[in-house]
Amino acid sequence: MLLRKNRLKRKRDFDVVFRKGKGFRNGFLFLKIIKNKLGISRFGFIVGKKLSKKATIRNKVRRRIAEMARLKLKNLKPGIDVVFIAFPGLEKKSYREIEEIVNKLFVKAKVLKRISFYSVPK
């Protein structure tokens, strides 16, 4: 689960990301991103009723995306606000397929840190 400090909660924060952020789309997932001045990355998730009328399915999709964001947090540049918006069809994707979509979105948005393979200890 994402730590509280890494979550977007207030409507004002979401509004700033929507107004000024850059958008990226890949399949059934849309990513809106903007830099913040906090030095930490924060994430928000929007899974509407168009995806499914059942709250359990919407929560499952949200939890999957949140877990992927948590796992990628160490590899992301600090100081960004990210909002994920799920579209109908994402609920039919497996965990691995969603993970691949999230990875592609992060690469497209250029928010991953450069990882040097030469600095890995043997």
Q: Which of 44, 24, 25, 35 is nearest to 84 (CA)?
A: 44
Tokens of 18: 């929507």
Residue 11 neighbours by CB under 8 Å, 6+ apart: none
Amino acid present at 6: N
Place of tokens 């168009």: 50
The DSSP line for 6-67 is: GB--SHHHHHHHHHH-EEEEETTEEEEEEE-SSSS-EEEEEE-TTT-S-HHHHHHHHHHHHH
**Domains, in order of start, for the chain:** 4-110 (3.30.230.10)
Give pLDDT tens digits along the chain (122 positions): 888 999 998 999 999 999 999 999 998 999 999 999 888 999 999 999 999 999 999 999 999 999 999 998 888 988 999 999 999 999 999 999 999 999 999 999 998 887 645 544 54
